[in-house]
């Protein structure tokens, strides 16, 4: 514990008014700000303040959140609590209940997941091929379960204006394998991300979703009970690029595809370091 | 701005000077166009007509020492020249802010009092860069700040500050375990309701405890106290206790109680430490925690509880101690999540996978 001994050991930051210190701290990151709160009393009161945490939240967060199902509860939280809450607990958009909003922890940028009901799943409305069930581990009311299909075609869309500007995003299909699955281990799936109205920003790859044991898996565990596979990346500049479209397709009619459970497609920032 | 115009249009005239007085009483003359770069000084000249002579020198705010004024005027002198390119200005700025942290703080304060926003932004960014990535201890050292937070207050901010996939995984495992325990409770309570042997043995046990072992009553209270400290829902607690009691058919369970009575002082402090550390981890979890993990684990699986406690302590210690490495880790991990293979098919595999987690680091 440092106790001030002489004039030189006195703290050098108390000459700053609170607003200055708040500005300085808001120029660091949310993680740094949390650490700052463990420094001293003076730092803590600033590091926990709404002024600082408001700068980490998206500028339109209140507009977005007032349209979610958890708004009354969220509006009562401090900005810091709100930020931390949204990192781990996505809020469901009221208007269609098929979309969730969350924040990326490091940067405070927007994350959206479009639920299966909000995706365009070919043959999705034919119960022979796809069924809709309620799973407790899903944030949405329903998830899509593939019984079998030859034409596997899922598309998801999001308006680029909804995403944070000047941010590199990646789209992920959030899914699980059913107990019995078939048709994903030998044929590669066609994954694409591009702007709907142009071929600009076209990213495309062919990936085998369920490779044989011993081969590296193209998907990873999310930690919330689901798996995810990256469909592609997109750099969102100003948000004026119209609609972003992702698609997953495997339409070779010789092979049926069986046993996939789809929760949705998530769009979240990706840092390429 | 007519006086400034005049100074530009008629170069043969003497440059206009403004008189400034710092808090220590010293007065100096400064070229007008340089001084006017500061909004506060500009305001004093325009609105109050001050500064034109030594007797009517503009009094600068106390935060502006002569040394700081000199720095600020250097800044103004450079930037008020209109012809400079952005690159030149940036270059000047980068060299300008190369000073020790103490001066940076004083300069920020002085510039702020003169409302010179561009300089405030520049110095603020420099100070922010100094703070970034440092541990609380390092920040205290740099700014000579007192270590005046209690342990509890310090631990508080560590909640939710990590994006460590392993911690998130641990959270999920905990959440799953809690769910399992809940289901087990439900099953047990259903059994009890069915009026089977369990219920009677609960009464037997209670009378045994109440009659013979006065100490365990005390233990129960101390346990309750601990629970109160952790601020759990009282209703839930009692129902869990009742159901947990119904488990204790053998001496093992009672032995557990007895043990807690015996080592009261020791176990109390370790319990409180564990509970505090568990508080951190708990708070990292989802907010809807309904079960008191420590107590449930006491009754059901002491060995597993110990393991969990050890791992929790370890995680908390690691969180506390290796911030710099962790920061590097976080920066490099970014959004990447390494594939983790786990399955939780009950207690056995749960334990196994926790050991794997421990070995990883």
Q: Residue B139: which of A16, A36, A269 has the nearest Cβ?
A: A36
Q: Do A44 and B157 touch (CB under 8 A)?
A: yes
| Residue B4 clears pLDDT 80, i.e. is over it | no
pTM above 0.95, yes or no: no
According to DSSP, residue A161 is labeled G
Q: Is B8 helix (H, G, I), strand (E, B) or coil?
A: helix
| A62 burial level (CB within 10 Å; 0-12, 13-18, 19+) | middle
Q: Do B172 and A225 touch (CB under 8 A)?
A: yes
B-chain residues near A2 (CB < 8 A):
140-141, 144-147
> Please, which residues have CB within 8 angstroms of residue A181's CB and are 6 or more apart in sequence?
A210, A258, A259, A260
- Residues B5-10 have a mean pLDDT of 55
Q: Do B134 and A41 touch (CB under 8 A)?
A: no
Beta carbons of B64 and B22 less than 8 angstroms apart: yes
A-chain residues near B105 (CB < 8 A):
12-13, 15-16
Q: Do A40 and B147 touch (CB under 8 A)?
A: yes
pLDDT at B51: 86
Residues A140, A258, A144: CA angle, nearest 5 degrees: 15
Q: Quick one: tokens of B235?
A: 């209703």
pLDDT in tens, chain A (273 residues): 443 333 345 777 788 999 999 999 999 999 999 999 999 988 999 999 999 999 999 999 999 999 999 999 999 999 999 999 999 999 999 888 899 999 999 999 999 999 999 999 999 999 999 999 999 999 999 999 999 999 999 999 999 999 999 999 999 999 999 999 999 998 999 999 999 887 665 789 999 999 998 999 999 999 889 999 999 999 999 989 899 999 999 999 899 999 999 999 999 999 875
pLDDT tens, residue by residue, B23-70: 898 999 999 999 999 999 999 998 888 888 888 899 999 999 999 999
pLDDT at B284: 41
Chain A: give the shortest CA distance to residue B8, in Å: 36
> How far is it, in rounded angstroms, from Cα B218 to Cα B221?
5
B-chain residues near A13 (CB < 8 A):
105, 143, 145
Q: Residue A39: which of B140, B168, B335 has the nearest Cβ?
A: B140
Chain A: give the shortest CA distance to residue B93, in Å: 17
Residue of B220, B231, B233 whose CA lies nearest to B299: B220
Interface test with B, best of A4, A19, A31 (most B CBs within 10 A): A31
> Please, which residues have CB within 8 angstroms of residue A101's CB and are 6 or more apart in sequence?
A64, A65, A68, A86, A90, A91, A92, A93, A110, A111, A112
A-chain residues near B128 (CB < 8 A):
24-25, 27-28
Q: Residue A11: which of B131, B144, B335 has the nearest Cβ?
A: B144
Q: Quick one: tokens of A100?
A: 């969730």
Q: What percent of chain B has pLDDT over 90?
A: 30
Q: Do B327 and A31 touch (CB under 8 A)?
A: yes
Residue of A219, A265, A270 whose CA lies nearest to A100: A265
pLDDT at B305: 64
Q: Residue A20: which of B112, B132, B153 has the nearest Cβ?
A: B112
Chain A: give the shortest CA distance to residue B172, in Å: 7
Q: Do A271 and B127 touch (CB under 8 A)?
A: no
Chain A: give the shortest CA distance to residue B90, in Å: 18
Across chain B, what does the average pLDDT equal? 66
In total, the C-beta contacts within 8 angstroms joining chain A to chain B are: 156
Q: Do A35 and B135 touch (CB under 8 A)?
A: yes
Work out the pLDDT band at B150, boundaries 50, 70, 90.
Answer: confident
**So what's the ipTM on this one?**
0.82
Q: Do B154 and A225 touch (CB under 8 A)?
A: no
| Residue B247 clears pLDDT 50, i.e. is over it | no
| B192 burial level (CB within 10 Å; 0-12, 13-18, 19+) | middle
Longest dimension (CA), chain B: 111
pLDDT at A15: 85
- Residues B92-105 have a mean pLDDT of 94
> How far is it, in rounded angstroms, from Cα B19 to Cα B68?
16
According to DSSP, residue A93 is labeled B
> How far is it, in rounded angstroms, from Cα A116 to Cα B203?
52
Residue of A nearest to B64 (CA): A15
Residue of B nearest to A48 (CA): B157
Q: How far is CA B41 from the centre of its chain?
A: 40
Q: Do B286 and A88 touch (CB under 8 A)?
A: yes
| Residue B100 clears pLDDT 70, i.e. is over it | yes
| Residue B229 clears pLDDT 80, i.e. is over it | no
According to DSSP, residue B145 is labeled -
Q: What region, left, alpha or beta, does residue A239 occupy, with left being phi > 0 and alpha being psi -120 to 50 degrees?
A: left
Residue of B nearest to A230 (CA): B336
| Residue B244 clears pLDDT 60, i.e. is over it | no
Work out the pLDDT band at B234, boundaries 50, 70, 90.
Answer: very low
pLDDT at B52: 87
Chain B: give the shortest CA distance to residue A239, in Å: 21
> How far is it, in rounded angstroms, from Cα B265 to Cα A73?
41
- Residues B14-19 have a mean pLDDT of 84
Q: Residue B149: which of A2, A12, A38 has the nearest Cβ?
A: A38
Q: Do A31 and B140 touch (CB under 8 A)?
A: no
| Residue B312 clears pLDDT 70, i.e. is over it | no
Rg for chain A, CA atoms, rounded:
23
Residue of A nearest to B146 (CA): A2
pLDDT tens, residue by residue, B316-330: 666 555 555 555 555
CB atoms within 10 A of CB B43: 15
- Residues B189-216 have a mean pLDDT of 52
Chain B: give the shortest CA distance to residue A213, in Å: 13
Q: Which residue has the higher pLDDT, A28 or B356?
A: A28
Q: Give the bridge partners for A91, in sequence order.
A: A101
Q: What percent of chain B has pLDDT over 70?
A: 41
Beta carbons of A169 and A163 less than 8 angstroms apart: yes
- Residues B116-133 have a mean pLDDT of 95
Q: Residue A224: which of B131, B172, B335 has the nearest Cβ?
A: B172
Beta carbons of A101 and A86 less than 8 angstroms apart: yes
- Residues B248-252 have a mean pLDDT of 41
Lowest-pLDDT range of A43-52, A229-238, B176-185, B212-221: B212-221
pLDDT at B332: 54
Interface test with B, best of A24, A216, A227 (most B CBs within 10 A): A24
A-chain residues near B135 (CB < 8 A):
35
pLDDT at A269: 96
Residues B40, B41, B46: CA angle, nearest 5 degrees: 100
Residue of A266, A273, A224 whose CA lies nearest to A118: A266
Q: Quick one: tokens of B87?
A: 């690159």
Residue of A240, A244, A175 whose CA lies nearest to A203: A244
Beta carbons of A261 and A145 less than 8 angstroms apart: yes
Residues A213, A219, A225: CA angle, nearest 5 degrees: 105
CATH of range A111-269; options 3.40.800.10, 3.10.20.740, 3.20.20.480, 2.60.120.260: 2.60.120.260
CB atoms within 10 A of CB B96: 19
């Amino acid at each position: 514990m440092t106790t001030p001994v002489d004039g030189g050991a006195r703290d050098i930051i108390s000459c700053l008014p609170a607003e200055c210190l708040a500005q300085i701290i808001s120029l660091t990151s949310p993680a740094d700000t949390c650490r700052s709160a463990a420094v001293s009393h003076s730092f803590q009161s600033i590091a926990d303040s709404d002024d600082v945490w408001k700068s980490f939240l998206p500028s339109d967060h209140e507009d977005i959140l007032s349209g979610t199902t958890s708004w009354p509860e969220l509006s009562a939280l401090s900005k810091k609590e709100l930020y931390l809450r949204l990192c781990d607990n996505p809020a469901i958009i009221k208007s269609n209940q098929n979309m969730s909003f969350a924040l990326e922890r490091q940067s405070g940028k927007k994350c959206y997941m479009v639920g299966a009901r909000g995706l365009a799943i070919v043959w999705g409305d034919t119960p022979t091929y796809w069924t809709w069930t309620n799973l407790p581990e899903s944030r949405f009311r329903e998830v899509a379960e593939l019984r079998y299909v030859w034409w596997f075609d899922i598309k998801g869309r999001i308006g680029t204006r909804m995403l944070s500007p000047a941010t590199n995003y990646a789209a992920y299909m959030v899914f699980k394998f059913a107990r019995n699955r078939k048709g994903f281990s030998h044929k590669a799936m066609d994954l694409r991300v591009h702007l709907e109205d142009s071929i600009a920003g076209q990213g495309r790859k062919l990936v085998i979703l369920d490779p044989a044991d011993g081969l590296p898996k193209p998907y990873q565990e999310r930690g919330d009970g689901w798996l995810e596979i990256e469909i592609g990346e997109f750099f969102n500049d100003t948000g004026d690029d119209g609609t972003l479209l992702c698609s997953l397709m495997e339409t070779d009619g010789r092979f049926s595809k069986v046993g996939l459970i789809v929760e949705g497609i998530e769009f979240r920032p990706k840092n390429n370091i | 701005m007519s006086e400034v115009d005049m100074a530009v249009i008629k170069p043969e005239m003497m440059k206009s000077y403004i008189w400034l007085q710092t808090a220590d009483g010293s007065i100096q003359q400064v070229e007008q166009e340089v001084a006017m770069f500061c909004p506060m000084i500009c305001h004093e000249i325009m609105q109050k007509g001050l500064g034109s002579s030594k007797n009517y020198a503009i009094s600068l705010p106390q935060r502006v020492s002569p040394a700081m004024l000199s720095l600020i005027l250097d800044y103004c002198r450079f930037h008020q020249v209109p012809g400079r390119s952005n690159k030149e200005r940036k270059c000047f700025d980068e060299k300008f802010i190369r000073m020790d942290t103490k001066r940076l703080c004083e300069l920020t304060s002085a510039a702020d009092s003169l409302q010179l926003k561009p300089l405030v932004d520049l110095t603020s960014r420099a100070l922010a860069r100094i703070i970034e990535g440092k541990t609380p201890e390092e920040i205290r050292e740099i700014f000579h700040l007192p270590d005046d937070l209690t342990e509890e207050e310090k631990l508080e901010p560590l909640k939710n500050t990590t994006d460590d996939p392993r911690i998130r995984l641990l959270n999920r495992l905990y959440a799953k375990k809690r769910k399992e325990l809940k289901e087990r409770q439900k099953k047990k309570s259903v059994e009890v309701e069915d009026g089977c042997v369990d219920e009677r043995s609960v009464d037997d046990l209670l009378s045994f405890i109440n009659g013979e072992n006065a100490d365990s009553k005390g233990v129960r209270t101390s346990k309750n106290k601990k629970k109160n400290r952790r601020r759990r829902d009282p209703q839930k607690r009692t129902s869990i206790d009742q159901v947990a009691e119904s488990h204790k058919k053998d001496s093992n369970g009672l032995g557990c109680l007895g043990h807690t009575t015996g080592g009261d002082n020791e176990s109390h402090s370790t319990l409180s430490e564990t509970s505090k550390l568990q508080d951190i981890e708990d708070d990292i979890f989802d907010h809807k925690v309904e079960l008191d993990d420590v107590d449930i684990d006491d009754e059901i699986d002491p060995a597993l509880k110990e393991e969990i406690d050890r791992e929790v302590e370890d995680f908390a210690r690691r969180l506390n101690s290796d911030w710099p490495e962790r920061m590097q880790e976080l920066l490099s991990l970014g959004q990447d999540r390494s594939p983790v293979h786990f399955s939780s098919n009950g207690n056995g595999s749960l334990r196994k996978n926790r050991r794997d987690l421990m070995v990883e680091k």
